[in-house]
Homo-oligomer: A and B are copies of this chain.
Amino acid sequence: MDKFWLYLSIGASILSIGVALYLFFWVKKQPEGSPKAKEVASWIRDGSRTYLKRLYRTLILVVVILGFLIAIVFSFDLSKISTSQVAVVPINGLVMSVSFILGALCSAIAGYLGMSVAVEANVRTATAANESINKAFRLSFYAGSVMGLAMVGLAVFGMSMIFLITKDAESILGFSFGASTLALLAKAGGGIYTKTADIAADLVGKVEVGIPEDDPRNPAVVADNVGDNVGDVAGMGADIFDSYVAAVVAVMILGASSARLGLNYVVLPLIICSLGILASLIGIQFVRVGKNGKPGPALNRGTVITTISFAVMVSAFVLATSVNLGVIWATITGLGAGVIIGITSDYFTSDDRKPVFRTAEVSQSGAAINIITGFSYGLASIVPSVIGIAVATLLAYYLAEVNGLAGIYGIGISAVGMLSISGMIVSADAYGPIVDNARGIAEMSGMDHHVIETTDVLDAAGNTAKAITKGFSISAAALTVLALFAAYAEVVTASGLQVNMSLREPIVVVGILLGLMTPPLFSALTMLSVTENAFAMIEEIRRQFRERPGILAGTETPDYDACVDMAAKGSLSSLLWPALIAVGLPLLIGFVLGPNALGGFLGGSIFTGVIFALFMANGGGLWDNAKKYIEAGNFGGPGSDAHKASVVGDTVGDPFKDTAGPSLNTLITVMSLVASLFAPLIAAFHLF
C-alpha cells in the first residue's frame, strides 16, 4: 500500500513540475513590448541574476563544507556507542550527504525558475496592462504559479525519491536541512538586499530630493526593483519550501517512531501534499478576472477553492482508505488556524479598522507617536494569532488522541495540512512582486499613465495576498517547529537517553533562556545590516546626485550598477553571523549543556521566534497601510506633516516585515533541524 502511495505522490509531483514548466514557456512566449521597456527590464533581470549567481556561489561553499561534515559524521554508526564498538558505515554518511545536497538543489532550482520567470513576466505584464487588466493579471498570476507549482513539485518529488530508495524517514532530515540552509541564505540575504535598496531609494529619492517612486533618475531604482525579485520571490519561495519539507519530515519521523502507527503513516504526509498539489491545480483555474474584474477577490477565490477542494479530497481519501479519522480533524484544524491568523493579519493591517486608522490619526502629533502606536498595535496583534495557534495545537492533539492516533502526530498533520496548499498560496504571493516590478518598468520606461493605474490596482491586490501569506507562513512554521520539536525528542529517546524537558529542571530553563534571546539577536543582526548597508547606499546616491547634476535634470543616466552591486555584496557578506548563529548555537548548546538543555533551547527559540515574527509582520504591514491611508487624502494627505510622520513609520516597518520578521521562521526551522540531525551524536557526546 505505502509503495502505491509513494508512486502516487511522485506522479502528482511530476504533474506539478510539468505544469510549472509549461507555464514558464507560455509566459516567455508573450510579447515583451517597446525597446525602452525591454531595456529597463534587462537591467532588473541582469541585477537579479548577478545577485542569484553570487548567492548560489556562497551556497555552494556552505553546502560543500556542511555536506562534507555530514558525510563524515553520519559514517559512524552511533547505535552501538554504548558498547564502545563504533562501526564505520560510509554509505550512511554518503546517503545523508547526498540527501542534504539534493534538498539545497531542489530548493535552488525552484527559486531559480521562480525568479527567471518573474524577471521575464514583469515587462510582459506592463505591456499587457496597456491592453487590458485581465490579460495583465493572467500573465502575472500564471508567472507566479510557476514558482508555486515548481516548489511543491520538487519538494514532494525529492522527498518521495529519497524515501523510496532509503526507506528511512530520518534520511530525509538531510534533505530538509539542505532546503533550510538555502532558505536561511536566500531569505535573510534577500530580505537585507531588498530593504537596503528600498530604504535608501526612498530616503534620498522621495524625502530628500522629492522625486516619485520608481523614478528613473534615482540611482537606486533598479536595485529596489531587483530587491523585489530576490527578496519577495526567491526568498519567500525558499522560506515556504523550507517549512513545507520540514513539516513533512517531522511527521514522517513521528509516524516512524510512534508504536501505535503503521508504515502507511510515514508516507501519509506525502499523500496529503499530493492532494494539496491537485487542489492547488484546481484552485489556480479559478483565478481569473473579467474586463472590469477585481484581482483581489480573484486571488481569494483561488485560495478558498483550493482550501475547500483540499479538505474534501483529504476527507474522501481518509474515508476511502483505512486511515485514522483523526487525520481529517487535524488537517481541518490546521486550515482553520491559517484562516484565523489570516483574518487577524487583515484586521490589524486594514485601513478600515481601528489599528491602522488610529496610527494614521495620531501621525498628526508626529513620527514618535506614530511609532509608539504602531508598535503597540503590532504587539497586540500577537494575541489572536497566538490563541489561534494554541487552540489549533490543543484541538489537533486531542482530536488525534480521541481517534487513537498519537496526539503529537496530529499536531504535525495539522502543519502539513496547512502547508499542503502552498502551491496556491505561493502562486498568489509571487504574483505581488511581479506586478510591483511591472509598475516600476512602466514608470521607468515612460509608459502611459493608465498603464501605471492598472498596475497600481494589480499591486494593491498583491499586498493583501502578501500579508495573508505572512500570517500563513508564520503559523505553519509554528506548528511545524512544534512537530520538529517532538521529532527531536523522539530521536533523542531513540538514542537511549532519558528525555526530561520539565520547566522545573534548571538546565532546561537555562536552555530556554538562551533560546529566547536567539530570535531577537538574529533580528538585530539582520536589521543592523539593513541600516548599515542603507547608510552606505544613501551616501552613494547623494554622491551621484552631487557629482553628476545631469542625473536629476534627466539628461544623464545614473550608475544603477553601483547600487545593485552594493546591495548584493552588502547583503551576502552580512550573512556570516546570522548563519553561524543558526547552525552553530544549537550545536554548542547541545554538546556543552546536553540534549535536555538543547530541547529547552529549541523551545525558547520557538517561543520568541513566533512572537517576534507575528509582531514584526503585522506591525510592518500596519505602518505601511497607515501611510497609504494618509496618502489617500486623509489627515492632511500627501505632503502633510502627518504624512511625513507616517513615512517614518513605514520605513521602520520595512525591515520588520520584510527582513527580520520572515527570516525568523527559517531560523527556528534550521535550528530545530540541526538539533534533530545531530541528536544521536549529541546524545552520545555532551559535557554536562
Contacts and interface: CB of A to CB of B under 8 A. Distances in A.
B506 A411 contact: yes
Interface string A386-403: 110110011001000000
Interface string A501-516: 1111011111011101
Contacts of A74: none
A531 interface: yes
A611 interface: yes
A17 interface: no
A145 interface: no
Given A203-B369, A369-B535, 18 more contacts: A368-B652, A369-B651, A371-B648, A372-B530, A373-B528, A375-B652, A376-B525, A380-B520, A382-B517, A386-B514, A387-B514, A394-B507, A397-B506, A407-B506, A485-B503, A500-B502, A501-B502, A513-B610
Contacts of A357: none
Contacts of A607: 512-513, 516, 604, 607-608
A275 interface: no
Interface stretch (A31-39, A56-64, A167-175, A359-367): A359-367
Interface in A518-567: 520-521, 523-525, 527-528, 530-531, 534-535, 538
Contacts of A137: none
B516 A386 contact: yes
Contacts of A531: 362, 369, 372-373, 376
B386 A513 contact: yes
Contacts of A520: 379-380, 382-383, 611, 615
Contacts of A367: 367, 648
28 contacts: A203-B368, A368-B648, A368-B649, A369-B535, A369-B651, A372-B530, A372-B651, A372-B655, A373-B528, A373-B531, A375-B652, A376-B528, A376-B531, A377-B524, A379-B523, A380-B524, A382-B517, A383-B520, A389-B513, A390-B510, A390-B513, A408-B504, A482-B509, A501-B503, A503-B600, A513-B607, A604-B607, A607-B607
B513 A652 contact: no
Contacts of A517: 382-383, 386-387, 611
A513 B362 contact: no
A285 B389 CA distance: 56
A182 interface: no
Contact of A372 (B368, B503, B527): B527
Interface of A: 199, 203, 207, 362, 365-369, 371-373, 375-380, 382-383, 386-387, 389-390, 393-394, 397, 407-408, 411, 482, 485-486, 489, 499-504, 506-510, 512-514, 516-517, 520-521, 523-525, 527-528, 530-531, 534-535, 538, 599-600, 603-604, 607-608, 610-611, 615, 647-649, 651-652, 655
Given A520-B611, A600-B503, A652 B372 contact: yes
A518 to B, nearest CB: 9
Tell which of A393, A516, A603 has the most Cβ of chain B within 10 Å: A516
Contact of A365 (B203, B500, B652): B203
Nearest to A651: B368
Contacts of A651: 366, 368-369, 372
B376 A527 contact: yes
Contact of A523 (B376, B527, B530): B376
Contact of A371 (B371, B482, B534, B599): B371
A411 B502 CA distance: 17
A631 to B, nearest CB: 17
Nearest first, the 7 closest Cβ-Cβ pairs linking A and B are A368-B651, A379-B524, A379-B520, A376-B524, A380-B524, A501-B503, A386-B517
Given A390-B514, A394-B506, A504-B489, A368 B611 contact: no
Nearest to A391: B510
A264 to B, nearest CB: 24
Contact of A648 (B366, B394, B506, B521): B366
Contacts of A504: 408, 486, 489, 499, 501
Nearest to A490: B504
A486 B386 CA distance: 26
Contacts of A611: 516-517, 520, 608
Contacts of A394: 506-507, 510
Nearest to A369: B531
Nearest to A611: B516
Contacts of A610: 513, 516
